[in-house]
């Protein structure tokens, strides 16, 4: 957490846990220990209740009805946009585009800005730690435009070396697209420095904020990026909703992504003119309840002391790292200084998938596999890792439950 945030209330993990109904359930007769929030976070009652309320009492299509329900649904949908704006400190709600997730937001930038502005030989620079969502759209763009995709390296501890990073950038670099926080390694990338380097070379910077927005304070003006994308479901909100933030000037210069209702100004069979952003990029009926649910998730986070939340997550990570390192045969993957609360590891003699299956019998949910980062796995020399990722509702006891379950797994597997 890199910036002081307002602190309306002290942080109390047990009080927070009571807000998440699913955490009270058991799995295989054991208390649920949910350590896969980097894949998708659980939802607080405040979000669940909002979705129920919207569908039970307040639902209608937006931006088109002349009747009360549609007007109030539209107001709630647009109020959610204002909540996102405030949360990331965008200068205008016109800069906040709702998408169905981060993946769609990155594809939108590649398909619109990329196809409009990149020529054969222009370069897009990403890093070795990227999620497939921040690799494949650029490969599609490369195939469509003849641009070149370059990869900045990662250090063995998972950190990014700015000198090597800058070497990947040149006069033809038009876009730098990097994760704010790595979903595999937990590395917090030096995004402000990356912004300076990108801009010094005349390139734009896209930040994939899927993991970053959860663990870091995000101020898009302060970060100096040109695009910031994230998914609602990792931020304790619903699935099916995400955000693309870009400066208004960029959004105005970009062609539309999809054609359809809501994104037009006028349509004739001969030609169509576009609505101004953000509507230009929101063709069709949007994810209405999901956007309002994301607004509720943001309200929820704003009701907590986020500095205390960050300290709590950091304490969980440090405890997990030190206890995991003591388990015989376990090797930590991703130990960069200042990293976020995501910890990958491998255990000698145990395939991550087998390990995750056995941990599940103890009620412990972890992710195993390549985490949609196959090129990173290759660089790390592993086919897969096991990953525990921590959220504001996790406890030290749950870290200990992971370690106990690992010892039990060793008895079974080794
Ligand atoms: N970028 C990063 C850094 C991510 O962690 C993810 C999802 C995405 C993009 C894609 O997000 P989506 O919501 O559009 O799918 N990461 C993970 C993960 O680590 N395990 O499951 C999904």
Final residue in a domain of this structure, among 257, 281, 302:
302
Q: Is 367 in the pocket of ligand 1 (CB under 6 A)?
A: yes
Is the residue at 44 inside a domain?
A: no
- pLDDT tens column, 9-48: 568 999 999 999 999 999 999 999 999 999 999 999 999 9
Mean of pLDDT values over 319-326: 98
- Domain check: are 396 and 265 in the same one? no
Atom of ligand 1 nearest to the CA of 233: 13
Residue 234 has pLDDT above 50, yes or no: yes
| Catalytic residue check, 365 | no
Do 320 and 383 sit in the same domain of this protein?
yes
Asked whether the whole model's pTM tops 0.75, one would answer yes
- Ligand 1 atom at minimum distance from 130 CA: 3
Q: What is the mean pLDDT of the chain?
A: 96
Q: Which of 34, 35, 133 to mutate to test the pocket of ligand 1 (most atoms within 8 A of CB)?
A: 133
Task: Work out the pLDDT band at 2, boundaries 50, 70, 90.
Answer: very low
Same domain, 227 and 110: yes
Expressed in angstroms and rounded, the spacing between residue 94 Cα and the centre of ligand 1 is 25
- Per-residue pLDDT of 361-384, as tens digits, reads 999 999 999 999 999 999 999 999
Same domain, 163 and 205: yes
CATH code of the domain containing 322: 3.90.1150.10
Q: Is the C-beta atom of 39 inside 6 A of ligand 1?
A: yes
pLDDT class of 7 with cuts at 50, 70, 90? very low
Distance CA 341, CA 187 (A): 9
Ligand 1 neighbourhood includes 169 CB (under 6 angstroms): no
In a domain, 41, yes or no: no
Could you give the CA distance from residue 15 to residue 379 in angstroms, rounded to a whole number? 41
Tell me the per-residue pLDDT of 64-83, one tens digit each, with 9 for 90 and over.
Answer: 889 999 999 999 999 999 99
Within a domain: 323: yes
User: Which is the closest atom of ligand 1 to the Cα of 103?
Assistant: 14
* Co-location of 197 and 290 in the same domain: yes
Write the CATH number for 54: 3.40.640.10
57 with 119, same domain: the answer is yes
Q: Cα of 316 to ligand 1 centre, how many Å?
A: 21
**Please, which residues bridge with residue 175 across strands?**
124, 204
> Which of 274, 302, 330 lies at the terminal end of a domain, its last residue?
302
State whether 109 and 246 are in the same domain: yes
Nearest to 361 by CA among 293, 294, 408: 408
Statement to judge: residues 287 and 323 lie in one domain = no
175/203 Cα distance (integer angstroms) = 5
How confident is the model at residue 10, as a pLDDT? 65
Does the beta carbon of 85 lie inside 6 Å of ligand 1?
no
In-domain check, residue 37: no
Backbone angles phi, psi at 382, to 5 degrees: -130, 160
The protein residue whose alpha carbon is closest to atom 5 in ligand 1 is 183
Ligand 1: nearest atom to the Cα of 100:
14
256 and 155 share one domain: yes
pLDDT of 1 over the 60 cut = no
For residue 42, tell me if it sits in a domain. Answer: no
Domain extent at residue 397: 3-31+305-413
- Please tell me whether residues 181 and 311 are part of one structural domain: no
Number of structural domains in the chain: 2
C-beta of 101 in contact with ligand 1 (< 6 A): yes
Residues 125, 100 share a domain: yes
Instruction: Confirm whether 324 is domain-assigned.
Output: yes
Inside any domain, residue 319: yes
The verdict on 219 and 368 lying in the same domain is no
Query: Ligand 1 in contact with 179 (CB < 6 A)?
Result: yes
- Cβ burial of 100 (10 Å; 0-12, 13-18, 19+) is middle
> Looking at the domain assignment, is residue 200 inside a domain?
yes
- Among 243, 270, 302, identify where a domain stops: 302
């Amino acid at each position: 957490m890199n910036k002081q945030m307002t602190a309306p209330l002290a942080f109390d993990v047990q009080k927070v846990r009571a807000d998440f109904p699913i955490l009270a359930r058991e799995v295989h007769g054991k208390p649920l220990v949910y350590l896969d929030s980097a894949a998708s976070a659980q939802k607080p009652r405040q979000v669940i209740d909002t979705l129920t309320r919207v569908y039970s009492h307040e639902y209608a299509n937006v931006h088109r009805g002349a009747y009360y329900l549609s007007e109030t649904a539209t107001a709630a949908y647009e109020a959610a946009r204002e909540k996102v704006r405030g949360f990331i400190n965008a200068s205008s709600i016109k800069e906040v585009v709702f998408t169905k997730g981060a993946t769609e937001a990155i594809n939108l930038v590649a398909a619109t800005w990329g196809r409009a502005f990149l020529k054969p030989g222009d370069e897009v620079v990403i890093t070795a730690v990227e999620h497939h969502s921040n690799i494949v759209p650029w490969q599609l763009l490369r195939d469509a435009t003849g641009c070149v995709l370059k990869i900045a390296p990662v250090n063995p501890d998972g950190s990014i070396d700015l000198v090597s990073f800058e070497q990947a950038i040149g006069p033809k670099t038009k876009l730098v697209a990097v994760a704010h926080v790595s979903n595999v390694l937990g590395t917090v990338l030096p995004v402000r420095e990356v912004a300076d380097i990108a801009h010094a070379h005349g390139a734009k910077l896209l930040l994939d904020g899927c993991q970053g927005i959860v663990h870091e304070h995000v101020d898009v003006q302060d970060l100096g990026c040109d695009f910031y994308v994230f998914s609602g479901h990792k931020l304790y909100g619903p699935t099916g909703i995400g955000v693309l933030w870009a400066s208004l000037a960029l959004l105005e210069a970009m062609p539309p992504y999809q054609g359809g209702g809501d994104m037009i100004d006028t349509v004739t069979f001969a030609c169509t003119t576009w609505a101004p952003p953000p509507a230009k990029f929101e063709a069709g009926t949007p994810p209405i309840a999901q956007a309002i649910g994301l607004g509720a998730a943001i309200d929820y986070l704003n009701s907590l002391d986020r500095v205390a939340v960050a300290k709590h997550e950091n304490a969980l990570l440090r405890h997990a790292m030190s206890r995991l390192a003591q388990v015989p045969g376990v090797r930590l993957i991703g130990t960069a200084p200042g990293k976020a609360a995501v910890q990958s590891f491998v255990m000698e003699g145990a395939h991550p998938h087998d390990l995750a299956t056995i941990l599940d019998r103890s009620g412990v949910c972890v992710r195993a596999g390549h985490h949609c980062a196959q090129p990173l796995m290759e660089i790390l020399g592993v086919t897969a890792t096991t990953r525990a990722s921590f959220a504001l509702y996790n406890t030290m006891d749950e870290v200990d439950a992971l370690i106990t379950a690992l010892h039990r797994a060793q008895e079974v597997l080794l």
